[in-house]
Amino acid sequence: WLMLAGLAAAGILVAILLVQGPKPSSVEEASAKQPPAPSAAANEPRVVVAVLEEVHGPVYLTAETSKHAGKAGDQMLPGQGVQTDSAGFAILKFPDGTRMEVYGNTKIQEIDERAGKQVVMTQGTVCAEVAPQPKDRPLMIRTPQAVTKVLGTSLRVIADQTETRVDVFEGSVRL
């Protein structure tokens, strides 16, 4: 019986070790107790490049690897984009008062403000009322075929993979 009881105790001990896993070394224990170092991005201030002022139908905020439904009041950060389905429509409002209407089947890949407003649009239709921009920092709308530089005007840009059309309602733009 003693031998059987000893084998049973050894079996229980092995089972406990397998469930708990190996005990970490003292270096692993120390690093497990310390919180992870904050990333550089966590220390940078959030720069809002635009706000979704209105949203109707399917509208999505996009980033390199993510896409989620957008709603009125959502803030857009540098590098984010907006995409609408055929029944989608959104109005973006920029901090300087510039307003951009984003119509159905439009994909704005990203918006950034490193060197003035940069809107990268791969397809669709936008209409914008652009507040006066500094001469050295114009709003630039990039499509697969053109770059439209805007200092302050009302315009529409329509783009697809083969052509870009720019209609200026007031003011002037440079292509």
Beta strands 118-129; 139-142: pairing state:
parallel
Distance CA 149, CA 26 (A): 59
Give the DSSP per-residue string, 51-69.
EEEEEESSEEEE-SS-EEE
- Per-residue model confidence as pLDDT tens digits over 65-84: 899 999 999 999 999 999 99
> 70 with 86: CB under 8 angstroms?
no
For 43, other C-beta atoms within 10 Å of its C-beta total: 7
How far apart, in whole angstroms, are the C-alpha atoms of residue 116 and residue 147? 13
pTM for this structure? 0.73
Q: What is the pLDDT of residues 75-133, one digit of tens each?
A: 999 999 999 999 999 999 999 999 999 999 999 999 998 878 999 999 999 999 999 99
